[in-house]
Every structure is written in structure tokens, then in C-alpha cells.
Amino acid sequence: MSSPESFKFRNTLHKLYWYKPIRSGDLTAIPFPQLNVGKVVARYISERSSNKHMGLEVDVYFKRLISDLVDYYWGVKGVLLTNIGILLEPDLCLNVEKILMDLSREYAIIIFWPFQVEESRRLVWDDTPKASLDFPEQTIHRLEL
């Protein structure tokens, strides 16, 4: 499978993309391993015996999980993330944008996003400011296949 013509993973500092398929839920065009973040992180949290330092533990676990899961396609190692809302849970106190931007320096991080996108960089569930991911300009791009 060749790299799509509309973007070049190796030519950007951050290989961070959001993807909204033409047909709802169709992720077959992306060859990277798929990670249902909500399911995996919820399982990890439920298996913890203590909630002390939970945010830090989830941060470390998530980064390790990504580095273990990535696979090589289109000239870069990458992963497709789905169901990422759990990372915004207030009790975890995670800086989700920073975590994803840091990971995207080394790996292609593609976020399945079937919701609203504002200004091509703000991923929004609804009109509530807390229910969004707000990335700096030129750090996240639309993946068009």
C-alpha cells in the first residue's frame, strides 16, 4: 500500500492527523493497528488497586501501549486511535493534546473523529468547551484518503 498523495508523513514535525471517513465507521482505508483507547484504558483503570497517581500511571501506560502497538506503513510507524474521550476524564488531569503531540513526533497518530472539527485543529464533541481537544496551529491535520 502506498502513501496517499495528499500528505507526507516525513515532512512534518508532528505526524498528527484526524480522520473522518466518508462512510460512517469505515476505517479499512487506514492500515495502521487500531486502538480503542476507551476500552483499553478503562480496563487498565479498573484493574488498579489504588487511585493514587492514577493520571500519571495512565499517561505512562498509554505511551507504552502506543510504542508497543505501532506498525510500519506508508513509510512511517503509526497507530489509529478510536474512542479517545476517556483521556479527557477530569480525574485523570491529563494534558491530552501534549501527550498526542509528543507521540506524533515519533509516530503517525491518526485519531478517528466522527464529530465536529473547528478551524481544522479543534476537535469538538459538542458546544461545551470541556468536551474538546484544542491543538496549536500546524500540529494536527486532516487525513484525506
Cα–Cα distance for residue pair 111/123, rounded to 1 Å: 10
Global pTM exceeds 0.85: yes
What's the farthest any 2 CA atoms get from each other in the chain?
48
Cell numbers 468536551: residue = 131
What is each CA distance from 72 to 3, 31, 50, 77, 78, in whole angstroms? 12, 9, 36, 4, 6
Q: Is 81 helix (H, G, I), strand (E, B) or coil?
A: strand
Q: Where are the domains of the chain?
A: 12-142
The strands making up 122-124's β-sheet, listed across from edge to edge, are 116-118, 122-124, 132-134
Decide if 87 contacts 62 (C-beta within 8 A).
Answer: yes
Q: Round the average pLDDT of the chain to a whole number and report it.
A: 87
pLDDT digit string, tens, across residues 96-145: 999 999 999 999 999 999 888 999 889 998 766 567 899 998 899 988 87
Read off the pLDDT band of 45 (50, 70, 90).
very high
pLDDT tens profile 23-37: 766 788 899 999 999
How far is the C-alpha of 62 from the C-alpha of 60, rounded, in Å? 6
Q: CA-to-CA distance for 135 and 59, rounded, in angstroms?
A: 18
